[in-house]
Chains A and B, each alone.
Chain A
Amino acid sequence: MNRLKVTLPGLELSNPIMPASGCFGFGKEFAGLYDLSQLGAIMIKATTREMRFGNPTPRVAETAAGMLNAIGLQNPGLDKVMTQELPYLEQFDVPIIANVAGTTTEDYAEVARAISTAPNVKALEINISCPNVKEGGITFGTNPKIAQALTEAVKAVSAVPVYIKLSPNVTDITEIAKAVEAGGADGLTMINTLLGMRLDAQTGKPVLANRTGGLSGPSIKPVALRMVYDVRKQTDLPIIGMGGVSTLDDVIDFLSVGADAVAVGTANFVNPFICPELIEELPGKLDELGIKTVQELTGRSHQYELANHRA
């Protein structure tokens, strides 16, 4: 028995750890470092209908225990992802979760329909939460009605299960979660980056050319944990949790608040070998905690709800 195995809609994961979208390109760079078949899955970089160059540079800035990025969904476009990037990844025995982005509902639907037919794409991650593009992205993810309608449109054309990537840049993330569930989402991935800024103290000039960017890294983990915790109480949809995962304890924490699997983002930049290292160390951690399988960890924090203590 594989005690790390996790089964989610469309996804048979040999372990619950995968690189997060935007932090792993289309896998080629990391394929030179280790065997990608070790990973639970790969969430590839966002794909849009047309090639996108992205935002002006500088596009990244370091902040306290985190980083800001304003890449702007740079990618080679649907055709090249279908003909070059995805076929390359077929040599690895690993499910691909394709991140889909767009500026209109039609864009999302077209990319979703096409990319979901690729043989190694086992699920879609719909990016309604990118904070770094002027049109599309986060505008779809901050209004429950629009989020629900987009989910319905993508579900209608996708050949594989659809996960919606939620934005933390909302007043109540559970509202959006419930809306996309009503729209037929098969799962949730959360959270995307938190909108932030950094200034040059001498001049007051924003460091990023885009002025604002998405905050990621260890600094956002408490926010992400709280949001997964809150959403887990509102829905039974599977959740792939992310936001500052850098250590094995972070993996355990995300599972404990209710995530079924965990994605590693910024930590891939700090240590490109982080994913296989965490996967290798996970069984030892389970032993240490006296736990047989990762599923036993999922949601265990909820037993400490205040209401239960009062009862």
Chain B
Amino acid sequence: MIQKEWMTVTNQRNIANRIYELTVRGGMVASMEPGQFVHIRTGDSFEPLLRRPISIAAINPEKSEFTMLYRVEGRGTEVLAAKRAGDKIDVLGPLGNGFPIGEAKQKAVLIGGGIGVPPLYELACQLNARGVETVHVLGFETAEAVFYEKEFSVLGETHITTVDGTHGIKGFVTHVMNELPTDFDVYYSCGPSPMLKAVEELYVDKKGFLSYEQRMGCGIGACFACVCKTNDERDYVKVCSDGPVFPAKVVVAG
């Protein structure tokens, strides 16, 4: 059930270049799943006007808290980055359909790119809790943009790539994926469209689930801003309400 709730900020910190970790508390947390997102009204004026979709990175039902990792890109995220413990924020959620965690039995590969990495963290936590081995391949632009390397390493084999080679392996996630054994049941991926396309092509015979990003208006399926063409019988899908996670080979990446 989608709710609109004033949630309380419990912690905010800058963890990498322009990357912030924001934890908030509220009742909505009880119904969250990995891969879903929230839509946040960052201020209370008409500037910025629209909500900002932000993925759910970690869920803590015991404390009724969840954590978001976001990159400051413009006015909305700038305003959000100024929030401090005790502040209230207007959150709409949980939105969309998350990763089907039951598809993984023994071993899963999780591939993330940049700000597509966060939703994979809660997924990795939940898969580990179910006894599924997780291998993580995480790509970033540069060393300063890398985050959550330690957090992922605790959960399983973790490979970091940077485009400029300043940390981890130089290149894209596909450089690592080419070398990895393919003895896994399923892969999950989130990141920019070209990366998702490359992942889909490399693991063409494997079962996979991809989380897409698309500019959104309403976040609930009413405005038709975030539609994508598909390879199945549907004329189109909406990333916000039909996704953001889709089985591989369904969405024609834009």
B2 cross-chain contacts in A, Cβ below 8 A: 32-33, 272
B223 cross-chain contacts in A, Cβ below 8 A: 22-23, 25, 60, 69, 71, 269
Partner of A57 from B46, B219, B220, B225 at Cβ < 8 Å: B225
Complex Cα spacing A131 to B217, Å: 18
Stretch at the interface among B47-55, B113-121, B128-136: B47-55
Cβ contact within 8 Å between B217 and A60: yes
Q: Which residue of B lies closest to A58 (CB)?
A: B215
Cβ contact within 8 Å between A29 and B227: no
Partner of B235 from A24, A53, A60, A266 at Cβ < 8 Å: A53
Cβ contact within 8 Å between A246 and B222: no
Cβ contact within 8 Å between A62 and B49: yes
Cβ contact within 8 Å between B4 and A269: no
Complex Cα spacing A54 to B215, Å: 15
B6 cross-chain contacts in A, Cβ below 8 A: none
Within 8 A of A (CB), among B204-234: 214-229
B148 cross-chain contacts in A, Cβ below 8 A: none
Any B CB within 8 A of the CB of A270: yes
Any B CB within 8 A of the CB of A9: no
A186, chain B: closest CB distance, angstroms: 27
Partner of A29 from B4, B76, B220, B226 at Cβ < 8 Å: B220
A32-B1, A268-B222 known; 8 new pairs, CB 8 Å cut-off, are A29-B222, A57-B214, A57-B254, A58-B215, A60-B216, A218-B49, A269-B51, A270-B49
Any A CB within 8 A of the CB of B174: no
Cβ contact within 8 Å between B51 and A64: no
Any B CB within 8 A of the CB of A92: no
A-binding residues in B (CB < 8 A)? 1-2, 4, 41, 46-51, 76, 92, 214-229, 235-236, 241, 254
A54 and B235 in contact, given A59-B215, A67-B50 (Cβ under 8 angstroms)? no
Complex Cα spacing A74 to B214, Å: 16
Q: Which residue of B lies closest to A73 (CB)?
A: B224
A272 and B92 in contact, given A23-B223, A53-B236, A54-B224 (Cβ under 8 angstroms)? yes
Q: Which residue of A lies closest to B51 (CB)?
A: A270
A-B contact pairs, 30 of them (CB 8 A): A23-B222, A29-B218, A29-B221, A29-B241, A30-B220, A32-B1, A51-B235, A53-B236, A54-B224, A54-B227, A57-B214, A57-B228, A59-B224, A59-B227, A60-B216, A62-B48, A65-B46, A65-B47, A71-B223, A71-B224, A74-B224, A76-B235, A217-B46, A218-B46, A246-B46, A269-B217, A269-B219, A270-B51, A272-B2, A272-B4
